[in-house]
Chain A
């Protein structure tokens, strides 16, 4: 018997082609470029070398300096902190929107997405103006305001979708079996939301690690982040191979983080009591 799955496999060909040509191939180029040397005028040339990775780890002309790992750590911290902040705000929002009567739901969801209709730069400049009179600008608070404003919708939408589908009798069952509020949430509600939360966290965390416009404009350019450095390498510094090496490392770190999370989640699901 012919499985319907075999035929529908062809349906993903256009998408796969698109991803292959416009995403995977350039990505491989980036990885490849990171192993070439840089000429004095920024040419990408032979011989193949690992010097850019050595430079990242801190072995430069001036001896050892952990500048770049430090920048990456700072970027990841900033991304994690803004993801956490978004999650804290998005959780109650998702529950609130799901509790609204049907006709208000779509209105609320539209409100959530409205910031996305405006260009990121314009939004960020708007925050600059709005916050300029306050002690928060320029500084970390302003950066977080900008980041959260930028990424919140990406967490609210998938979370809302999973809250909508929650089977509340499970919460009642948990209560019935002796679970107080927090336990009910932890054991009966959160597991149902986890897929949505993971999707949202990935959507926020990954782009936030590469973010540089908002920290630049709202942080007063005092903090150098991964995004800034990479942008510098491809722009003013004309050192594409080093920029590529940085991008590759950042990507590997993010992938590793996601992999660790996925493994932890899987273990968690498979853990048995006895």
Chain B
């Protein structure tokens, strides 16, 4: 699927600003961004429920824009599930095949298969108001998958579920996608979900696809401030270039492994990359301003000079507890320092 230069305006608001994305067959692709970043608009355009003001959309080698929603080989799992309330689960799932005038006997077998696949066979006769949120989600999934679409669109499919159920369904979704080999385009504002599920992620902000890459690339090599801060926490350090590999920050000199491209630079470092108590390059004394114990780890707020940095430490057995007010040595490894574009 290729989207090139998609633009969609609503009055003065630009919902999509020249978005170009190329999504391969069988890929699990996530659009990650805050609400209002245009990710749902993109999905609606792919589904045919909305049309772009500019740009082209090719699905399976075919120009998709002239094809109306009901004839596109694309199906959607809606955020609100949008199950038909007057039909039972079985009828909901069969709907797409009925619209395509598939013979009754075939509808029956395929409905059975879809219900089995999503493990809701025993709910067949229930109405949507008689089942739980997680079950509705499965029905919505079965209803979309039964049509064997080229592309399956998932609009925050797990957004309304509680955390535990969400993790469970995430894994199932992942397994299902692997098994069926259908292209999944998945919209979410939950970075864990995007990182955990996707082959590739497009981080979106203000109608633009800011960065596209694998989970690893997005996390390890964020391109700019937005990506660095939206995906995982990140410390940002404003600095000026002293030498090619030496930056001058407010609290001291920092050796950076990557080459510094310009006079003014923004450096970033993930909290978990700040090492405590080691001595190597970029060693500083930090004052512990605050600590938050979260079980597996302790999150720290450190002050070095007038800069505030977040760090995290794993609560290994025998780890000495860190107290507020304490001064501890920290190390900012040169190879962990990221250089951002803005």
A172 touches B78 (CB 8 A): yes
A169-B82, A172-B49, A274-B108 given as contacts; is B91 within 8 A of A177 (CB)?
no
In the complex, chain A residues 164-200 whose Cβ is within 8 Å of any chain B Cβ? 167, 169-170, 172-180, 183-184, 187-188, 191-192
A173 touches B82 (CB 8 A): yes
- Is B229 close to A, CB under 8 A? no
Q: Which residue of chain B has the shortest Cβ distance to A177 in the bound complex?
A: B96
Interchain CA distance A272-B126 in the complex, whole Å: 10
Interchain CA distance A183-B107 in the complex, whole Å: 18
Q: How does the 8 Å CB contact mask read for B71-108 relative to A, with 1 for contact and 0 for none?
A: 10011101010111110101100111011100000011
Interchain CA distance A187-B47 in the complex, whole Å: 19
- Is B69 close to A, CB under 8 A? yes
A172 touches B84 (CB 8 A): no
- Is B147 close to A, CB under 8 A? yes
- Is A6 close to B, CB under 8 A? no
In the complex, chain B residues 269-324 whose Cβ is within 8 Å of any chain A Cβ? none
- Is B200 close to A, CB under 8 A? no
B95 touches A187 (CB 8 A): yes
The binding surface of chain A is classed by DSSP as helix
- Is A222 close to B, CB under 8 A? no
In the complex, chain B residues 99-129 whose Cβ is within 8 Å of any chain A Cβ? 99-100, 107-108, 111, 124-125
Give A196 Cβ to nearest chain B Cβ, in Å. Answer: 14
- Is B178 close to A, CB under 8 A? no
- Is B143 close to A, CB under 8 A? yes
B91 touches A173 (CB 8 A): no
Q: Which residues of A contact B98 (CB under 8 A)?
A: 273
Q: Which residue of chain B has the shortest Cβ distance to A180 in the bound complex?
A: B70
Which one of A170, A175, A184 has the greatest number of beta carbons of chain B within 10 Å? A175
A176-B69, A178-B99 given as contacts; is B78 within 8 A of A169 (CB)?
yes
A177 touches B125 (CB 8 A): no
Q: Which residues of B contact A176 (CB under 8 A)?
A: 47-49, 69-70, 74-76, 144
Q: Number of residues in A with C-beta < 8 Å to the partner? A: 22
B88 touches A272 (CB 8 A): yes
A170-B82, A170-B84, A176-B49 given as contacts; is B75 within 8 A of A273 (CB)?
no
Q: How does the 8 Å CB contact mask read for B38-60 relative to A, with 1 for contact and 0 for none?
A: 00000000011100000000000
Q: Which residues of A contact B75 (CB under 8 A)?
A: 176-177
Give B271 Cβ to nearest chain A Cβ, in Å. Answer: 40
Which one of A174, A176, A188 has the greatest number of beta carbons of chain B within 10 Å? A176
Q: Which residues of B contact A169 (CB under 8 A)?
A: 78, 80, 82
A178 touches B78 (CB 8 A): no
A177 touches B49 (CB 8 A): no
Q: Which residue of chain B has the shortest Cβ distance to A167 in the bound complex?
A: B82
Interchain CA distance A64-B83 in the complex, whole Å: 58
Q: Name the one of B69, B80, B85 contacting A175, with C-beta atoms under 8 angstroms.
A: B69
B100 touches A178 (CB 8 A): yes
Give A220 Cβ to nearest chain B Cβ, in Å. Answer: 46
B78 touches A177 (CB 8 A): no
Q: Which residues of A contact B76 (CB under 8 A)?
A: 172-173, 176
30 cross-chain CB contacts under 8 A: A167-B82, A169-B78, A170-B82, A170-B84, A172-B49, A172-B78, A173-B78, A173-B83, A174-B84, A175-B48, A175-B70, A176-B47, A176-B74, A176-B76, A177-B70, A177-B75, A177-B95, A177-B144, A177-B147, A178-B70, A178-B71, A178-B96, A179-B99, A180-B68, A183-B99, A187-B95, A191-B86, A272-B88, A273-B91, A273-B107
B residues within 8 Å of A by Cβ? Answer: 47-49, 68-71, 74-76, 78, 80, 82-86, 88, 90-91, 94-96, 98-100, 107-108, 111, 124-125, 143-144, 147
